Every structure is written in structure tokens, then in C-alpha cells.
């Protein structure tokens, strides 16, 4: 575009000069020839781009369209991740509330537990559900509360298997209540079942 601008600018300059020269020239017979010469020069000026085109290849002069797509791609990706994370958090939260409603009463009565959190991020693709369980904050069964503080490493062999058995029971209970296969439930324990 700068090329065209320069070319047009030279044309305009020539026209202005020609106007002045025409005023300066005395009206004699020779004026006609002077004007003819100027016309020829003007024509050469007009043909300038054609000559340039013949002499030099065009490729160097074509403007390049700037490609900003790379940076934009990243921006879109970042925004998308942000939105997606918000969606996942919202879905998990809603599911934790609704799923917990179904089973919390039984869980609390039998094990003193409740559903703390549900992670549904892998649900759509693999059908798996991460469930975080913790001790119920409501008043549990009378004998349950005190024994929660048992640390695992201090526990004896027998208690260990007892805990495992309870875990299995919770898993079965959840799977039955939610009509899922047990393998698809991944339980995370904030506190061991008592």
C-alpha cells in the first residue's frame, strides 16, 4: 500500500507542477509541443507500476497478513479451562448434596459417617465416582463418637480387618443405594469408620 501511496503522491506533485508550468509558459506556437512533452512524462509516470512489475518479482511487495492465532488459541484454551473448572465444581457440589440426601441417614445411623464431597469429573467419561466420606457432624450413635480418634498405625491386626470390613459394608451400602457397581465407586476416607 505504501508503494501505491508514493506513486499517487508523485502523480499529484506532477499535476501541480504541470499546472504552474502551464501558467508560466507564454502562449506561443511552441507551447503545444511543451504540453505534449509533459503529457508523455505523465504517461510514463502512470506506467511506472507496470515497469516495476516487469523488473522485480511481486512476491516481496505483497503485504503479509499477521497471524495472531497462536496467542489467541492459548487465550481461548485458558478461558475454557477456567469455565470448565467452575462447571465441574458446581456439578460435584450439586451431586454431593443430592446423593448425600439419599444415603446420609442410613450412613449416619450405622457408621456415624456422612458424604462430605463428590468428585464427578471422571463420571461422564469412565463412569467412576470419587466420594469423600467423613464423620458425621450431627449427633451420631452414642457409642460411635469416641472411637473415631483411633489412629491406624496403632491399631491391632484384628481391628484393621474390622475397619476393612466396615469399609466394604459402606461401599456395598452406597453402591446399592445409588444403583452403581462397587468397582466404580472410589471411596476416600477423611476419617476411618468406627
Nearest residue to 170 (alpha-carbon basis) of 101, 112, 107: 107
CB of 33 to another protein, least distance (A): 13
What is the Cα–Cα distance from 103 to 144, expressed in whole angstroms?
A: 18
90 vs 168, beta carbon nearer another protein: 90
CB 173 within 8 A of CB 110: yes
The CB-of-141 to another protein minimum distance in angstroms stands at 25
Q: Which is nearer to another protein, 11 or 148 (CB)?
A: 11
Q: Using CB atoms within 10 Å of the CB of residue 28, give its burial: 0 to 12 exposed, 13 to 18 middle, 19+ buried.
A: exposed
Residue closer to another protein (CB basis): 39 or 149: 39
Q: In the β-sheet with 185-189, what is the strand arrangement from edge to edge?
A: 113-119, 129-135, 185-189
Q: Which residues bind another protein (CB under 8 A)?
A: 1, 4-5, 8, 11-12, 15-16, 18-20, 22-23, 35, 38-39, 42, 46, 63, 65-69, 72-73, 75-76, 78-80, 82-84, 86-87, 90-91, 94-95, 97-99, 101-102, 120, 123-124, 127, 129, 177-180
Shortest gap between Cβ of 92 and another protein (angstroms)? 8
CA–CA separation, 133 vs 191, rounded Å? 7
Cα end-to-end span (Å), the chain? 80
Least Cβ distance, residue 56 to another protein (angstroms): 21
Least distance (Å) between residue 166 CB and another protein:
23
Amino acid at each position: 500500500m505504501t508503494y501505491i501511496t508514493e506513486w499517487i503522491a508523485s502523480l499529484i506533485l506532477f499535476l501541480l507542477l504541470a499546472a504552474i508550468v502551464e501558467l508560466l509558459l507564454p502562449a506561443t506556437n511552441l507551447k503545444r509541443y511543451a504540453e505534449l512533452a509533459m503529457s508523455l512524462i505523465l504517461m510514463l509516470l502512470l506506467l511506472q507500476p507496470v515497469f516495476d512489475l516487469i523488473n522485480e518479482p511481486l512476491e516481496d511487495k505483497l503485504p503479509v497478513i499477521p497471524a495472531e492465532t497462536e496467542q489467541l488459541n492459548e487465550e481461548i484454551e485458558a478461558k475454557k479451562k477456567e469455565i470448565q473448572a467452575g462447571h465441574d465444581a458446581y456439578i460435584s457440589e450439586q451431586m454431593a448434596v443430592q446423593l448425600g440426601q439419599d444415603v446420609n441417614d442410613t450412613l449416619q445411623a450405622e457408621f456415624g459417617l456422612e458424604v462430605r464431597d463428590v468428585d464427578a469429573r471422571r463420571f461422564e467419561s469412565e463412569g467412576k465416582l470419587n466420594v469423600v466420606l467423613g464423620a458425621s457432624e450431627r449427633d451420631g450413635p452414642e457409642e460411635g463418637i469416641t472411637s473415631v480418634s483411633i489412629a491406624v498405625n496403632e491399631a491391632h491386626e484384628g481391628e484393621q480387618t474390622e475397619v476393612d470390613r466396615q469399609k466394604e459394608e459402606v461401599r456395598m451400602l452406597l453402591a446399592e443405594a445409588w444403583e452403581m457397581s462397587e468397582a466404580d465407586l472410589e471411596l476416600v476416607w477423611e476419617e476411618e469408620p468406627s
